[in-house]
């Protein structure tokens, strides 16, 4: 019993060794802020006095720097509270300068993400409380870093970049506009609104209309539906899954998406005949009446005489000038109208036409010398088949060059390779707006030397996810971080 | 204190197989001397071993385990040249500490469920703040008085009345001095401060060690242990394409001599890999060591038994 008693007390003494007394705290105001420069290293230990002395000096310096605790004026610290259920840190006193690039507001409160809060704790700007007691940095690491928030390696990369001055945000895949969307040149504000609406996932109350006054009214109803449908996630900025991207399509479908995917009727185009009304030869076409099953109710529709409609079309022959006629004659000298071929006219649809072409091709190949074409090894090309060197090279090439974007949509997402952060350059800090950060400088994917080197599958996936922003790999090796990036490179193939 | 609440918590701890080691004799230690028999607390963040207390780091360095600093330095947090606590350990370093009974895994303290004890802890913390405030107030007052007295002494020789003005201020200081609450200096603790009085749980069971010991880790650990016993200091060498960087002395003062690559005896390596690492070694002026632990003893234990490690070094030579 007595042993345990002393051990707990002694343990407490041990634990409190690093607490500063009030006089030490007071003295800390006049501490130096300079870091001593490290001297040159030696090559071989020779047991000399000089070396030992220098080593001792380096060590003393080392321990002094490490043992120094963070002491801040209470008025300079921003008070915050850690909420483990939401995995967020809520600010309780006004934010400082860091608010320009970090944190977000929601429902009237100011929040910091766990990695941001931990970084600010390490910088001595924020004091985070949990259950009314302040958290130490060790507790911050233990509580804030996990596989659901940010792992230790990811935090190390985050801290490294922040200390260099970059602005680092968590990556949100749904915030990347696809190539098509960029082609359409959607105004940026619609993206932000979408993101803000995604953030409101947790609140069950309808969206207040004053902020969204410019968006159409129809959007509020599916928003309520999507609130219930979208699964409640802990952090509003966790990467939204695919279902979130389709919320704007719910407008057209009243029942919720899982039931709305009834199979659309598949049309059999081979049995549908499209009458040819435009060509000059078919002036006397008469359209048959449509199938009774397609008509509503007891409607009766007879045959349709197309002639009056056709007369409205401008079927006049074009009047060409003399020069145009000359040009056309030159062009048409060797051109054969496809439709003047009797066999082509016999084809009733596209399938038969392709079959005809295939038959002709095969017939054309009948006159190939047997000693070349009937063996195991056949020539790669036929004389007359290619018109230029490049065509020939293209035809005989075995390895076709490809680009990263080929076949990306068929790739399955990977657990191992994920983009963690968006990084913005330090010189943009002055104009940086959290609501509209713009295009990042690069996107970070955190990995380590223990893991595999990213293969082509990973590169394609990541560059697709990131669109036109380059992806940098931050490799964490026991505290040391190295950055690598891969560039898509095309070998020149032109031969002239 | 009889019926120590901390004791009761230990016996009620969720995992019934954790034992607490009571062999500590820590009263004799001072900041500058390495702790005698105190065990180093290795806390895990995921599967990465970390050290938080300076005394632990000193103890480790005295047995040759250097680790790498990965946090912000308190004095200048916004730079990357010199980092601060925590100290990240290699898996092999943590294993060595555990094997030599120098360190032990420290598990995350669970939230103390006892509400009353927690409110008591909060009261104690706030009382501590109050007393710190009062003491700092007194110190600030003394400090201000000293400053004013110094000014008065300097102005002794002056002919104007400024000295008298300051003397009046000094006399009125006891009444007029204001030290507002936000002016107080507080500490942002790096290592766990123990305000909540939750007992620290430690575990000596290998099942509580979060890193599984596979073939690769065993090979690396054998090599690490052998080189460490020969007196070398080792750090990680990912950027050099190897497993460890081997230093003849403390890495603070000496350059590394070798890049150690750990390969098991029966592992096959393609020749181009050997060439690559030999090239790399010659570029950075370090010798490449291929290290292989010898086959295990006849007893066929799962863990690697301490045996010999075979070293081969690579060197470019020219044929004349």
Condensed to tens digits (0 to 9), the pLDDT of residues B64-109 reads 999 999 999 999 999 999 999 999 999 999 999 988 988 888 877 6
- Looking at the predicted structure, is the pLDDT value of residue B35 above 60? no
pLDDT at A212: 38
Chain mean pLDDT for chain B: 80
For B182, which of A31, A62, A75 is closest by C-beta distance? A75
What percentage of chain B exceeds 70 in pLDDT? Answer: 80
Average pLDDT of the residues in A475-491: 88
B255 is catalytic: yes
Contact B189 A18 (CB under 8 A): yes
For A123, which of B78, B186, B195 is closest by C-beta distance? B78
Q: Which of A9-23, A173-187, B183-197 has the highest mean pLDDT?
A: B183-197
> What pTM, to 2 d.p., does this model score?
0.71
Q: Contacts of residue A73 in chain B, CB cutoff 8 Å?
A: 182-186
pLDDT at A147: 86
- Looking at the predicted structure, is the pLDDT value of residue A43 above 90? no
What percentage of chain A exceeds 90 in pLDDT? Answer: 27
Output the six-digit token pair for B106.
């420290």
Report whether A163 contacts B80 (CB < 8 A).
yes
Question: Of B8, B92, B115, nearest to B42 (Cα)?
Answer: B92
Cα separation of B298 and A425, whole Å? 60
Q: Contacts of residue A482 in chain B, CB cutoff 8 Å?
A: 239
For A138, which of B55, B184, B190 is closest by C-beta distance? B190
Question: CA of A473 to nearest chain B CA: how many angstroms apart?
Answer: 14
Q: A29 or A118: whose pLDDT is higher? A: A118
- Looking at the predicted structure, is the pLDDT value of residue A252 above 70? no
Q: What is the pLDDT of residues B50-71, one digit of tens each?
A: 999 999 999 999 999 999 999 9
Q: How confident is the model at residue B296 (pLDDT cuts 50, 70, 90)?
A: low
Q: A361 or B9: whose pLDDT is higher? A: A361
Catalytic residue among B53, B224, B233, B247: B247
Catalytic residue among B53, B255, B285, B311: B255
Question: CA of A144 to nearest chain B CA: how many angstroms apart?
Answer: 10
A160 touches chain B (CB under 8 A): yes
B207: alpha, beta or left? (left if phi > 0; alpha if psi -120 to 50) = alpha
Query: Could you please report the per-residue DSSP string of A53-100?
Result: HHHHHHHHHHHHHHHPPEEEEGGGSEEEEEETTTTEEEE-S---GGGG
Mutate to test the interface with B, among A72, A74, A449 (most CBs of B within 10 A): A74
Q: How confident is the model at residue B262 (pLDDT cuts 50, 70, 90)?
A: very high
Contact B192 A22 (CB under 8 A): no
Mutate to test the interface with B, among A139, A426, A481, A483 (most CBs of B within 10 A): A139
Output the six-digit token pair for A196.
């803000």
Nearest CA in chain A to B111: A131
pLDDT at B34: 43
Question: Of A152, A129, A134, A18, nearest to A82 (Cα)?
Answer: A129
Mapping DSSP onto H, E and C, the string for B22-68 reads: CCCCHHHCCCCCCCCCCCEEEEEECCEEEECCHHHHHHHHHCCCCCE
Q: What is the pLDDT of residues A326-382, one digit of tens each?
A: 888 888 887 777 887 888 888 888 999 999 888 887 777 677 777 887 788 888 887
pLDDT at A412: 82
Q: How confident is the model at residue A59 (pLDDT cuts 50, 70, 90)?
A: very high
Average pLDDT of the residues in A173-185: 76
Cα separation of B17 and B6, whole Å? 17
Contact B4 A133 (CB under 8 A): no
- Looking at the predicted structure, is the pLDDT value of residue B13 above 50? no
Contact A55 B250 (CB under 8 A): yes
Q: What is the pLDDT of residues A130-144, one digit of tens each?
A: 999 999 999 999 999
Hey, which residues 134-153 in chain A have their CB within 8 Å of chain B?
A: 134, 136-139, 141-142, 145-147, 151-152
Contact B185 A74 (CB under 8 A): yes
Q: B244 or A366: whose pLDDT is higher? A: B244
Q: What is the pLDDT of residues A256-315, one digit of tens each?
A: 444 334 456 677 777 777 777 766 665 566 777 777 788 888 788 888 887 777 777 776
- Helix, strand, coil percentages in chain B from 3-state DSSP, rounded to 5: 40, 20, 45
Q: Contacts of residue A35 in chain B, CB cutoff 8 Å?
A: 73, 75-76, 79, 81-82
Beta bridge partners of A446: A474
Q: How confident is the model at residue A187 (pLDDT cuts 50, 70, 90)?
A: low
Cα separation of A200 and A190, whole Å? 15
ipTM above 0.85, yes or no: no
Q: A237 or A161: whose pLDDT is higher? A: A161
| Kind and range of the H or E run holding A169 | strand A167-170
Least confident among A111-120, A157-166, B206-215: B206-215
């Amino acid at each position: 019993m007595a042993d345990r008693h002393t051990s707990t007390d002694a343990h407490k003494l041990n634990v409190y060794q690093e607490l500063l007394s009030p006089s030490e705290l007071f003295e800390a105001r006049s501490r130096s802020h300079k870091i001593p420069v490290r001297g040159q290293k030696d090559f071989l230990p020779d047991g000399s006095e000089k070396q030992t002395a220098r080593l001792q000096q380096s060590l003393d310096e080392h321990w002094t720097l490490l043992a120094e605790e963070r002491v801040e004026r209470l008025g300079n610290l921003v008070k915050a509270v850690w909420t483990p259920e939401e995995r967020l840190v809520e600010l309780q006193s006004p934010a400082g300068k860091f608010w320009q690039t970090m944190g977000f507001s929601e429902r009237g409160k100011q929040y910091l993400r766990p990695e941001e809060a931990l970084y600010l704790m390490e910088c001595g700007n924020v004091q985070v409380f949990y259950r009314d007691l302040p958290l130490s940095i060790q507790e911050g690491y233990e509580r804030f870093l996990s596989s659901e928030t940010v792992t230790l390696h990811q935090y190390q990369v985050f801290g490294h970049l922040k200390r260099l001055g970059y602005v680092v945000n968590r990556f949100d895949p749904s915030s990347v506009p696809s190539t098509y969307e960029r082609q359409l040149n959607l105004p940026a504000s619609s993206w932000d609104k979408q993101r803000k609406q995604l953030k409101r996932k947790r609140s069950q109350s309808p969206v207040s209309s004053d902020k969204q006054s410019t968006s159409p009214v129809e959007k509020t109803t599916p928003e309520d539906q999507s609130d219930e449908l979208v699964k409640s996630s802990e952090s509003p900025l966790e990467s939204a899954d695919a279902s979130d991207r389709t919320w704007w399509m719910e407008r057209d479908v009243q029942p919720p998406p899982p039931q709305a995917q009834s199979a659309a009727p598949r049309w059999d185009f081979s049995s549908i005949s499209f009458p040819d009304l435009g060509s000059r030869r078919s002036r006397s076409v008469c359209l048959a009446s449509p199938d009774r099953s397609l008509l509503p109710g007891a409607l009766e529709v007879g045959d349709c005489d197309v002639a009056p409609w056709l007369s409205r079309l401008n079927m006049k022959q074009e009047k060409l000038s003399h020069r145009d006629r000359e040009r056309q004659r030159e062009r048409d000298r060797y051109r054969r109208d496809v439709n003047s071929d009797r066999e082509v006219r016999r084809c009733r649809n596209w399938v038969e036409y392709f079959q005809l072409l295939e038959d002709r091709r095969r017939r054309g190949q009948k006159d190939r010398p047997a000693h070349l074409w009937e063996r195991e090894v056949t020539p790669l090309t036929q004389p007359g088949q290619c018109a230029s060197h490049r065509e020939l090279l293209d035809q005989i090439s075995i390895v076709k060059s490809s680009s990263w974007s080929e076949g990306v949509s068929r790739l399955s997402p990977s657990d191992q390779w994920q983009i963690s952060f968006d990084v913005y350059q330090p010189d943009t800090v002055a104009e940086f707006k959290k609501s509209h950060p713009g295009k990042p400088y690069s996107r970070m994917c955190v990995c380590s030397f223990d893991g595999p080197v990213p293969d082509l599958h990973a590169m394609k996936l990541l560059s697709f996810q990131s669109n036109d922003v380059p992806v940098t790999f931050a490799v964490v090796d026991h505290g040391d971080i190295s950055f690598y990036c891969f560039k898509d490179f095309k070998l020149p193939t032109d031969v002239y | 204190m009889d019926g120590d609440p901390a004791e009761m918590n230990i016996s009620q701890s969720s995992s019934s197989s954790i034992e607490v080691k009571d062999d500590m004799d820590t009263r004799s230690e001072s900041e500058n001397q390495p702790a005698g028999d105190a065990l180093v607390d290795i806390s895990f963040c995921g599967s990465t071993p970390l050290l938080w207390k300076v005394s632990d780091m000193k103890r480790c360095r005295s047995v040759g385990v250097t680790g790498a600093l990965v946090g912000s330095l308190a004095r200048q947090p916004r730079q990357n040249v010199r980092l601060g606590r925590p100290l990240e350990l290699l898996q092999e370093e943590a294993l060595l500490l555990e094997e030599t009974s120098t360190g032990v895994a420290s598990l995350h303290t669970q939230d103390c469920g006892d509400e009353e004890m927690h409110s008591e802890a909060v009261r104690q913390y706030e009382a501590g703040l109050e007393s710190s405030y009062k003491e700092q107030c007194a110190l600030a007052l003394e400090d201000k008085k000293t400053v004013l007295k110094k000014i008065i002494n300097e102005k002794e020789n002056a002919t104007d009345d400024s000295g008298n003005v300051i003397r009046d201020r000094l006399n009125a200081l006891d009444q007029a001095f204001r030290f507002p609450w936000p002016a107080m200096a507080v500490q942002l603790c790096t290592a766990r401060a123990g305000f909540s009085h939750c007992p620290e749980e430690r575990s000596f069971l290998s099942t509580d060690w979060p890193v599984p010991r596979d073939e690769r880790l065993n090979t690396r650990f054998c090599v690490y242990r052998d080189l460490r016993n020969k007196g070398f200091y080792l750090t990680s060498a990912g950027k050099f394409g190897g497993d460890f960087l081997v230093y003849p002395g403390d890495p603070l003062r000496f350059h590394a001599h070798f890049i150690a690559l750990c390969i098991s005896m029966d592992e096959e390596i393609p020749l181009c890999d050997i060439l690559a690492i030999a090239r790399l070694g010659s570029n950075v002026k370090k010798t490449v060591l291929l290290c292989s632990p010898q086959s295990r003893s006849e007893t066929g234990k799962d863990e690697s038994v301490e045996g010999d490690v075979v070293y081969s070094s690579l060197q470019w030579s020219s044929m004349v």
